[in-house]
Amino acid sequence: MASLRLAVDAMSGDHGLRSSLSATLNALNRNSALHVSLVGDEPAIVNALATKKYDPARLQIVHSTDVVTMDDIPSKALRYKKQSSMYRALELLRDGSVAGVVSAGNTGALVAMSCIILDRLPGVRRPAICAPVPAHNGVTYMLDLGANISCDAEQLYQFAVMGSALAKALDGRERPRLALLNVGAELIKGTSVVKEAAELISANPQLNYVGFAEGNDIFSEQIDVMICDGFTGNVALKVCEGTANFIRGQLKAKFVQSLYGKIAAVVVKPVLSAFAREINPDRYNGAALLGLNGVVIKSHGSSGAASFESAIHKAAKAVECHLPQLIATQINTTES
């Protein structure tokens, strides 16, 4: 099995090294082909590794002296934090030392740095953040989820092209079904931008466009890729995650409120456990920044070790299927 190397931004995010280190070690244990460059404060990393078991041949430490905080303004982080763990990890990708980057850091800073350090693929106007959400058919991929707060019709069209390539590469869906998120399925509804985007997407015979879709269709088995601007997508994603956590919490609370509930919980525990795993946001963590010259995976800022590990595995899979090259080919084919 060929080896693959990823750079992990060890210091960014709400939990920094507490999450990234455990996630990295677990990922290395589960994937024998994986090698990781852990980027961050070397003394802190060495100290944290002192009591851990790991293969030093597969784990490299790359020192950085700074960290991009969640409150940093992206433009200032780009200008003044070139010694940060996020910046250094992206430089490793640019220089060919690694094949992908995983970071739980500031989304705006990660997008800005990625665009400057890695550059966009030829023909791509703006990168987009794409992540899976649970659905009846497995998952529905959504993009954009925050990289572009407002979009024009041409950008939404390119999101459709990139999302289609992602669904083909990661899930093997031959003709992914694409839909535009709208306030209704009727053709007369929606903004002028959404209507124009629908015309562009539907005019391309290489794209399997199925029309407008509403928010409740995100979980439908009729859609593989949901396209929207970053403002709408980010709000929708957070609502999905919050709803999942609310349901899990309410179920747990109800089963411990009474003796009858506790007895019933024992009986249905296998079903509840399976349900909890299915809707657990940690399982789906890891959003791809599509349209860049390289694989960049954004983990949730609040990711724990298990959640961060999911993002690492997604990065490895994206590298193995040569996702940027597939998107470049798709963009060039549809633009020609």
- Rounded to two decimals, what is the model's pTM? 0.87
Q: Are residues 129 and 118 in the same domain?
A: no
Q: How many domains does the chain have?
A: 2
What are 163's two structure tokens? Answer: 């999302």
Q: Are residues 27 and 85 in the same domain?
A: yes
Residue with tokens 């078991």: 53
Give the model's pLDDT for residue 256: 76
Let me know if residue 207 belongs to a domain: yes
Q: Are residues 177 and 220 in the same domain?
A: yes
Q: Which residues of the chain have pLDDT under 50?
A: 1
Q: Are residues 269 and 257 in the same domain?
A: yes
Determine the Cα–Cα distance for residues 5 and 206; give it in Å rounded to an integer: 33
Let me know if residue 81 belongs to a domain: yes
Give the model's pLDDT for residue 127: 92
Q: Are residues 13 and 89 in the same domain?
A: yes
Residue 120: give the domain boundaries: 1-124+291-323
Give the model's pLDDT for residue 336: 54
Question: In this structure, are strands 295-298 and 287-290 parallel, antiparallel, or unpaired?
Answer: antiparallel
Cis omega before residue 144 (within 30°)? yes
Let me know if residue 73 belongs to a domain: yes
Give the model's pLDDT for residue 187: 84
Longest dimension (CA), the chain: 67
Total residues belonging to the chain: 336
Give the model's pLDDT for residue 263: 74
CATH number of the domain that residue 77 is part of: 3.40.718.10
Q: Which residues pair with 128 in a beta bridge?
A: 290
Q: Are residues 267 and 298 in the same domain?
A: no
Let me know if residue 21 belongs to a domain: yes
Residue with tokens 């003394």: 43
Determine the Cα–Cα distance for residues 220 and 101; give it in Å rounded to an integer: 31
User: Virtual CA dihedral for 191, 193, 194, 199, nearest 10 degrees?
Assistant: 130
